[in-house]
C-alpha cells in the first residue's frame, strides 16, 4: 500500500528543520511556573482516581477498531481494513489529554526492553542530559523537573536486563501509568520549543495568537493539553527519536480510492550512513495511531 504524508505543512516542518544550536538558547522568564506546577499536582490526583479502561484491555487486534465504527463511516471501516494488512495490534492509552506522551514513552521503553539496545540507551542518556541543560539555561528551577528526569532514567535502566532493578513487560506496563512519565515528556518538549523559538514561532502562530512562551505555558506544560505536530516535532528532535503517526480520518484520495495517510517525524540529524557510505533516513520504530483528539500505539506485523 502506498502511504502519503498527512499534509504539506507537516512535510515542510520536518524537512526544513535547521541544525539545533545548543550554545544559543533563547532566554525566557518563567513567572507562572508555580501556577503550572500547582495545576499539575491537582490534576495528578484526578488522573489516578480515573477508571482506566485502556489498562483492562490494553492489547487488541485491529478488528476491535472496526467494531467501534460498525455503524459509522464506511470510509473509516475501509481504512481499518487497510491498516489491518500492515499492523497486527493496537494498544490503547488513557484518553486524558496526555495520551501522546504516554504512548510515546511506553512505546520507547518497550522497544528498549525488547531490543536490549544498550547503544541506544547510551545515546538517549546524552540527549536527556542535553535536555536538562536546556531547561536550566531557559531559567527553569531544577526542582520543578528533576524528579521527572530521574524517573525516566530509572525506567530506562530497569528495562535493561541483568541487574537487580530489571523489570518485566508487565511491570513496565504498570509503571507506565505513573503520570510523571508524561510530565517528563512535556518538560522536554517545552524546552525544545523555547530553545528554538525562532524556528517554531511561525507554526505556533498558526495555532494561536500568542508567543512561543505563552504557547508553552498554556498548551505544552499543563497536564491534559492535546499534542499536535509542533509537540511531536519538538519531542522527536529533542530526544533524537523518529516517530511515525498514522492518521485515521474520513479523508479520501483524489482518485476516489482509500488509503491511510501517515507522517514520519524524523529528528534533526536523523540520517544514518549505510553500507555504501550514503545516508538514509532513520526508520521510526514507534508508530502511533491518531484519531481526532487521541493517540494509541500500533504494532506492525
Q: Could you list the active site residues? A: 96, 99, 294
Residues with Cβ within 8 Å of 191's Cβ and at least 6 positions away in sequence, in order, are: 131, 134, 135, 138, 140, 238
Cα–Cα distance between 145 and 190 in angstroms, integer? 12
Name residue, grid cell 521510526.
284
Name residue, grid cell 530521574.
150
The count of other CB atoms within 10 Å of the CB of residue 118 is: 10
CB 251 within 8 A of CB 217: no
CB 80 within 8 A of CB 66: yes
Cα–Cα distance between 80 and 21 in angstroms, integer? 41
Residues with Cβ within 8 Å of 297's Cβ and at least 6 positions away in sequence, in order, are: 90, 91, 93, 103, 106, 107, 286, 287, 288, 289
Helix axes 99-115, 229-239, angle to 10 degrees: 30
Name residue, grid cell 488513557.
94
Number of H helices, E strands in the chain: 13, 8
Amino acid at each position: 500500500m502506498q502511504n502519503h504524508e498527512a499534509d504539506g505543512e507537516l512535510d515542510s516542518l520536518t524537512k526544513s528543520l535547521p541544525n539545533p544550536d545548543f550554545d544559543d538558547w533563547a532566554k525566557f522568564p518563567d513567572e507562572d511556573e508555580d501556577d503550572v506546577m500547582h495545576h499539575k499536582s491537582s490534576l495528578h490526583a484526578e488522573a489516578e482516581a480515573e477508571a482506566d479502561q485502556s489498562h483492562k484491555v490494553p492489547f487488541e487486534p485491529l478488528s476491535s477498531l472496526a467494531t467501534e465504527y460498525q455503524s459509522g463511516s464506511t470510509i473509516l471501516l475501509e481504512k481499518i481494513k487497510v491498516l489491518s494488512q500492515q499492523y497486527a495490534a493496537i494498544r490503547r492509552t488513557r484518553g486524558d489529554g496526555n495520551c501522546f506522551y504516554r504512548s510515546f514513552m511506553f512505546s520507547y521503553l518497550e522497544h528498549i526492553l525488547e531490543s536490549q539496545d544498550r547503544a541506544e540507551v547510551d545515546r538517549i542518556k546524552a540527549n536527556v542530559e542535553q535536555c536538562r541543560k536546556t531547561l536550566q539555561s531557559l531559567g527553569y528551577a531544577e526542582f520543578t523537573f528533576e524528579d521527572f528526569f530521574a524517573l525516566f532514567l530509572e525506567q530506562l535502566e530497569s528495562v535493561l536486563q541483568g541487574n537487580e532493578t530489571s523489570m518485566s513487560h508487565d511491570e513496565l506496563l504498570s509503571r507506565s501509568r505513573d503520570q510523571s512519565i508524561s510530565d517528563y515528556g512535556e518538560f522536554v518538549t517545552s524546552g525544545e520549543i523555547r530553545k528554538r523559538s525562532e524556528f517554531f514561532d511561525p507554526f505556533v502562530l498558526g495555532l494561536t495568537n500568542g508567543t512561543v512562551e505563552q504557547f508553552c505555558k498554556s498548551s505544552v506544560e499543563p497536564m491534559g493539553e492535546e499534542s499536535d505536530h509542533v509537540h511531536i516535532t519538538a519531542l522527536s528532535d529533542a530526544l533524537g527519536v523518529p516517530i511515525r503517526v498514522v492518521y485515521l480520518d474520513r479523508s479520501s484520495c483524489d482518485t476516489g480510492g482509500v488509503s491511510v495517510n501517515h507522517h514520519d517525524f524524523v529528528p534533526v540529524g536523523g540520517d544514518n550512513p549505510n553500507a555504501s557510505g550514503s545516508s538514509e533516513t532513520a526508520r521510526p520504530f514507534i508508530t502511533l495511531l491518531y484519531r481526532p483528539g487521541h493517540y494509541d500505539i500500533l504494532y506492525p506485523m
